[in-house]
Amino acid sequence: MLYPAYELVRAALSRYSITGLRLGGAGRANFTHVLEQPALPTVLANTAVWVFGVVIITMVMSLALAQFLTKEFFGRRVVRWAVIVPWAASLVITSRLFTLIYDYYHGVLNKLLIGLHLTSHPIDFLGDDRWTMWSMIAVGVFASIPFSTYVILAGLNSIPQDVYEAARIDGAGYWKTYRSITLPMLRPALSVAVVLNMIYVFNSFPVIWTLNERNPGFAHDTTITFMYKLAFKSAERDIGQSAAAGLFNVLLILVAVVAYLRVVKPQESDTR
């Protein structure tokens, strides 16, 4: 773990030729150049929308799905297996599949929307600025739900049944029991799911790159694809700037995770 971190810091403080040859030290110049990038505000805004959009929608849907999977019904085992599939599948394959679903001319989604008379013409889900980010968020949610669902499902199964029995004896209704018992006792599982999802989604390169690779510039990029383009796709092809952006990326996710944990920890202490 330490050696790659050392190399990242070393690269961020170095100058490189367009072919990747190290030319010497750069001091703080790479960090300054990254902060001066005109596209940086757009990239940061995209990252915030991407991370919060995927994590919030994922957690709400996973909570509902996990609650459903705790019930006894015919075929429950098959449904539980099916939920794992998006998580087990390669993110690149999943994302490529969605490019076919979203396709402007032959995509299944456009044919379905037109067939149901919800739109009179195809929608360019990956080319129209109004739809691109939300189309990527939908794929991110699809790929994130299985992990969150199983973490929450494990939390639900760990809640003692005698607690619910005591609540019923006291006359507590379903919603009061859910608010007062289920959600507070799920906080550790929810915290794990949220933190790990934030890290995974923040660093999710395959989904964003596969869906957004045809779009020029940085209009729909997040920090993870932004630093890749700085090194390999931009006019500068600057590895030093890319490494500096990578360090900023690490700091951003650490700040986000620490801020979330500082909010959650007092709530858990109050619950205890």
| Per-residue model confidence as pLDDT tens digits over 10-63 | 888 888 877 777 888 878 888 888 888 888 999 999 999 999 999 999 999 999
DSSP string, 36-79: T-TTHHHHHHHHHHHHHHHHHHHHHHHHHHHHHHTS--TTHHHH
Which pLDDT score is estimated for 4? 87
CA dihedral sign, ordered 42, 48, 51, 56? negative
The tens digit of pLDDT for each residue in 111-143 reads 999 999 888 889 999 988 889 999 999 999 999
Q: What are phi and psi of 92, to 5 degrees?
A: -65, -45
DSSP class of residue 24 equals: E
* 8 Å CB contact between 54 and 201: yes
Which pLDDT score is estimated for 110? 92
24 assigned to some structural domain: no
Which pLDDT score is estimated for 7? 87
29 assigned to some structural domain: no
How many domains does the chain divide into? 1
Percent of the chain with pLDDT over 90: 26
30 assigned to some structural domain: no
User: Which whole number is the average pLDDT over 181-208?
Assistant: 87
Which pLDDT score is estimated for 87? 82
Which pLDDT score is estimated for 37? 87
262 assigned to some structural domain: yes
15 assigned to some structural domain: no
Selection from 237, 212, 197 nearest residue 43 by Cα: 212
220 assigned to some structural domain: yes
17 assigned to some structural domain: no
18 assigned to some structural domain: no
The tens digit of pLDDT for each residue in 213-225 reads 877 778 889 999 9
Pairing of strands 22-25, 14-16: antiparallel
DSSP class of residue 255 equals: H
Domain span holding position 121: 40-236+247-271
Which pLDDT score is estimated for 42? 92
The tens digit of pLDDT for each residue in 64-80 reads 999 898 888 888 888 88
Which pLDDT score is estimated for 101? 94
Q: Which two tokens stand for residue 151?
A: 């973490």
Spatial distance between the Cα atoms of 136 and 235, rounded to a whole number of angstroms: 26
* 8 Å CB contact between 55 and 194: yes
Which pLDDT score is estimated for 53? 94
CATH of the domain at 219: 1.10.3720.10
Using CA atoms, how far residue 204 sits from 30, 53, 131, 169, 218, in Å, is 24, 14, 19, 47, 16
